[in-house]
Structure 1
Amino acid sequence: MFLPIATSNMVATSLAKQDKYEVQHQISILLFVGFACGVLMLLLTQVLGSWALTAFSGPKNAHIVPAASKYVQIRGLAWPAVLYGIGFSKREPRHERFLGTFEGAAWSTIASQVIAAYMMIEALNKKGYNAFAISIPSPNEFSHIFSIAAPVFVTMFSKVAFYTLMTYFATAMGAFTVAAHQVMIQMYGMCMACGEPLSQTAQSFMPEFLYGTERSSEKARMLLKSLVIIGAILGVLLASAGPFIAWQFPYIFTSDLKVIQEMHKVLILFFAALFVTPCTHSLEGTLLAGRDLKFISLSMTGCFCLGALLRGGYGLPGCWCALAAFQWARFFLALQRLLSPEGILNSEPAVQFKPEEVKAA
């Protein structure tokens, strides 16, 4: 998950400096990193897949391990292509068509992943770059990639760990509670994805205003203001639509009244958590574009710890209260950082990041 963010960050900064050679070189070394990670994941899946599934599922579910292992091993064959192509996109494409069996589902999924990677490679080639040119990064270049990728990895890991922890706590509350949680969290994830393009927009366009040949903190602030306004409008629409559907049309998801009752307990908290999320994407995308990576990784880790502590013992509402606190804490921390005198929008770009001098044409 950190690969597309690191790629966007590095390539957008080079594009802002109008250095096409540097853009091609960064693409080449990042493709090598992606392909190397894909091969490593392939080997780990094939060698340790069954062991990991057995440890995860437990002895009571040992009968599902053979089928699950076969599915994972087939899916693992696509890792090199997936991680080679994921650097061109925000997230992995999901186009699964089930063909009646686990094996059919796995083969159809990896076929869609390979096709998607090929289409992204062709799109990059049409822009004048060579998507098949792979360069091994030097120690200094690898250190530079690691300095961006490591904080982003910590950030993404903390975020995923928080949602996983929510599901873990909900699972311990009984079948009806976990069923209600799965419905609401899946709906929340679908709505939340609608705000992620705001983060990608900030990462793509902010470097031009922060580090480009025509730097302008005023234009950067205006772009952020526009993104936050769009995020607020989108947040209201999404946070209203989700609870309304769950309240008025719960039978779309389940016919069990107990599950519906559990769903209705978290409608207000669903709104509170989702309302601020698109704005948070805009703010955090700006921090990523400005390479304020240490702050964003530390703040996300702190929010994860806060959310884990706040979940308490108040049933499903307690979990969703922790989610709302998690999202609002991220929002206020990112906003405070950007508005502070030391923030990337209020200080000279050279203080935060020192790009190489652009060569005169």
Structure 2
Amino acid sequence: MESLLLVLVPNKKFIGNKIEIASENEEENVYKFKEKKELSTNQSIWDQMKKILMFSGPATGIWVSGPLMSLIDTAIIGQGSSIELAALGPGTVLCDNMSHLFMFLSIATSNMVATSLARQEKNEVQHQISILLFVGLTCGIFMLLFTKFFGSRALTAFAGPKNVDLVPVANKYVQIRGLAWPAILVGWVAQSASLGMKDSWGPLKALAVSSVISGIGDVILCSLLGYGIAGAAWATMVSQVIAAYMMINTLTKKGYNPFAITLPSSTDLLTVFALAAPVFVKMISKVAFYALITYFATSMGTHTVAAHQVMIQIYIICAVCGEPLSQTAQSFMPELMYGINRSLTKARMLLKSLLIIGGVLGLALGILGTSVPLFFPGIFTPDKKVAEEMHKVLVPYFIALVVTLCNHCLEGTLLAGRELKFISLTFSGSFALGAILLMLVSTRGYGLTGCWWTLVAFHCGRCLLSVLRLLSPESILYSQDLSRYKLGIAEA
């Protein structure tokens, strides 16, 4: 009866008051619900950001370790000889940059391990670790032989006819560091397996020890005993072998057998290839582009290539600080995208948190990384001409670094979602266009500054394409259709 009166006699004061009270209560409840939902969302983002920082904080040390060793070599060698400093340019390209070609091992390992753990299949994890260790060891032996027999030829082709005097010095560095290739790649597999298990502390301890050994070794062998570039190579090589052993030992403590190296079957190789091939295209495109910049810088003279060597080392050590954000996406996204507890809303929220952290970190590293060569160039070289060349590229250096940090978040999400075809096409296309632009700015006399502005264009183009892909209704962050995914692997 009361409900009927509310409808038939809406203007009555009593009924109107009841209606008004009901309306006010309803509005208050809606407001409280929205407020609670907003607080819950903000709290969830904050919780995610804390989890990201707890994982990516230690992981930062992992990614910084390798470039840090090269940066220590650069700083100590630069105090003694400008020729040896210049020789580190092609030398580190053949050692550090070529090692990035095998980053597919690292990404494939963490991706496969994280996906298997999301489905709670521990036996599958052991099998994947075993076959990937075999692949890593095989690739390491191959690179050891390549460095031994073809290292000098590769350096000669890279340095060019104007810098033949650098080849013997650079080859001395390359031959010593090449002895660590098998240990490096096996260690990468062990390290990435731990990261796929959401453990970044174990690998960090190993690489912290190796970095200390490398630094102490450089000081003793280079500064005190005067072995120069050869001493720096020995210190770095020994530290990398020790790091690999410690990372393998970390897997043992987790209950896995890292020494159970298994010959992969054709099915195993096909699975690894399906994931690794596009990642290989991604890495070879990036490494080739960096190498191409160094190639053009090498043709501009000793002072220019020495300045570029310093700037690219600082850039790399800052840029890899974003790799933990990519690794976070690869370790945590699979569970949210196609795990047992699938939640695309949480996956999108995780990406938002990653981008916030990436943007802030990019600005901070951009300011820090620019300040060092601007105010303290003497850390790396007493040569004023080299310092002047360094100052010419500070603006594009800053922009490239900020965009790179955001790119790591986007690319990690794409890798976690197995957007492999898109990644390979994006990187190969960006490399082709970037190489053409690089040749144009070089032939028209824009110098090292033009090369670095080309690097900015290379990163900005990929960033835009990645954003458009992830916002697409058919992307893994929005599509509810998993029919094109088999065992968590997207069909190309």
**Deviation for aligned residue 1:347:** 1.0
**Deviation for aligned residue 1:8:** 0.7
User: Structure 2 vs 1, CA of residues 253 and 76 (structure 1 numbering), >3 Å: closer, same or farther?
Assistant: closer
1:173-225 Cα deviation digits (max 9, x unpaired): 33443333233222211211111110111111111111211111111111111
Alignment of 1:4 with 2:125, yes or no, is: no
User: Structure 2 vs 1, CA of residues 106 and 260 (structure 1 numbering), >3 Å: closer, same or farther?
Assistant: closer
Match of 1:141 among 268, 280, 299: 268
Contact 2:160 2:299 in 1 (8 A): no
Partner of 1:17: 119
* CA distance in structure 2 between the partners assigned to 1:191 and 1:9 by the alignment: 24
Partner of 2:133: 31
User: Structure 2 vs 1, CA of residues 85 and 325 (structure 1 numbering), >3 Å: closer, same or farther?
Assistant: same
* CA distance in structure 2 between the partners assigned to 1:241 and 1:11 by the alignment: 35
Say which is worse superposed, 77-86 or 42-51, in terms of deviation: 42-51
* CA distance in structure 2 between the partners assigned to 1:167 and 1:103 by the alignment: 22
Alignment of 1:274 with 2:376, yes or no, is: no
Partner of 1:245: 372
Say which is worse superposed, 138-147 or 107-116, in terms of deviation: 107-116
Alignment of 1:67-78 (within 5 A): 72-78=174-180
Match of 1:218 among 308, 320, 345: 345
User: Structure 2 vs 1, CA of residues 37 and 252 (structure 1 numbering), >3 Å: closer, same or farther?
Assistant: closer
Say which is worse superposed, 219-228 or 57-66, in terms of deviation: 57-66
User: Structure 2 vs 1, CA of residues 81 and 244 (structure 1 numbering), >3 Å: closer, same or farther?
Assistant: closer
Alignment of 1:53-64 (within 5 A): 53=155
Partner of 2:255: 128
* CA distance in structure 2 between the partners assigned to 1:182 and 1:55 by the alignment: 18
Q: Which amino acid aligns with 1:146?
A: F
* CA distance in structure 2 between the partners assigned to 1:73 and 1:181 by the alignment: 23
Match of 2:356 among 229, 242, 251: 229
**Which sections of structure 2, spanning at least 5 residues, go unmatched?**
1-102, 193-202
Partner of 2:450: 318
* CA distance in structure 1 between the partners assigned to 2:232 and 2:376 by the alignment: 30
User: Structure 2 vs 1, CA of residues 229 and 174 (structure 1 numbering), >3 Å: closer, same or farther?
Assistant: same
Partner of 2:19: none
Contact 1:54 1:62 in 2 (8 A): yes
* CA distance in structure 2 between the partners assigned to 1:200 and 1:189 by the alignment: 17
* CA distance in structure 2 between the partners assigned to 1:166 and 1:50 by the alignment: 20
**Deviation for aligned residue 1:10:** 0.8
SS of the residue aligned with 1:137?
Answer: coil
User: Structure 2 vs 1, CA of residues 42 and 258 (structure 1 numbering), >3 Å: closer, same or farther?
Assistant: closer
Contact 1:82 1:117 in 2 (8 A): yes
Q: Which amino acid aligns with 1:20?
A: K
Partner of 1:359: none
Contact 2:190 2:258 in 1 (8 A): no
Contact 1:211 1:349 in 2 (8 A): no
Partner of 2:147: 45
Partner of 2:461: 329
Q: Percent identity?
A: 63
* CA distance in structure 1 between the partners assigned to 2:149 and 2:382 by the alignment: 42
**Deviation for aligned residue 1:57:** 5.6
User: Structure 2 vs 1, CA of residues 158 and 259 (structure 1 numbering), >3 Å: closer, same or farther?
Assistant: same
User: Structure 2 vs 1, CA of residues 106 and 50 (structure 1 numbering), >3 Å: closer, same or farther?
Assistant: same
Contact 1:210 1:349 in 2 (8 A): no
Q: Which amino acid aligns with 1:195?
A: G
User: Structure 2 vs 1, CA of residues 326 and 50 (structure 1 numbering), >3 Å: closer, same or farther?
Assistant: closer
Higher helix fraction: Structure 1 or Structure 2?
Answer: 2
SS of the residue aligned with 2:487?
Answer: coil
User: Structure 2 vs 1, CA of residues 65 and 121 (structure 1 numbering), >3 Å: closer, same or farther?
Assistant: same
Match of 1:343 among 454, 472, 475: 475
* CA distance in structure 1 between the partners assigned to 2:481 and 2:409 by the alignment: 19
Q: Which amino acid aligns with 1:2?
A: F
Contact 2:162 2:299 in 1 (8 A): no
**Deviation for aligned residue 1:267:** 2.1
* CA distance in structure 1 between the partners assigned to 2:319 and 2:312 by the alignment: 10
Contact 1:235 1:275 in 2 (8 A): yes
Partner of 2:423: 296
TM-score when scaled to structure 1?
Answer: 0.89
Partner of 2:244: 117
Contact 1:180 1:262 in 2 (8 A): yes
* Number of positions where the alignment pairs a residue of Structure 1 with one of Structure 2: 356
* CA distance in structure 2 between the partners assigned to 1:263 and 1:353 by the alignment: 48
**Deviation for aligned residue 1:251:** 3.7
Contact 1:290 1:352 in 2 (8 A): no
User: Structure 2 vs 1, CA of residues 321 and 57 (structure 1 numbering), >3 Å: closer, same or farther?
Assistant: closer
Q: Which amino acid aligns with 1:279?
A: C
**Which sections of structure 1, spanning at least 5 residues, go unmatched?**
357-361
Partner of 1:355: 487
1:259-312 Cα deviation digits (max 9, x unpaired): 444333322212211111111100001111111111111101111122223331
**Deviation for aligned residue 1:255:** 4.4
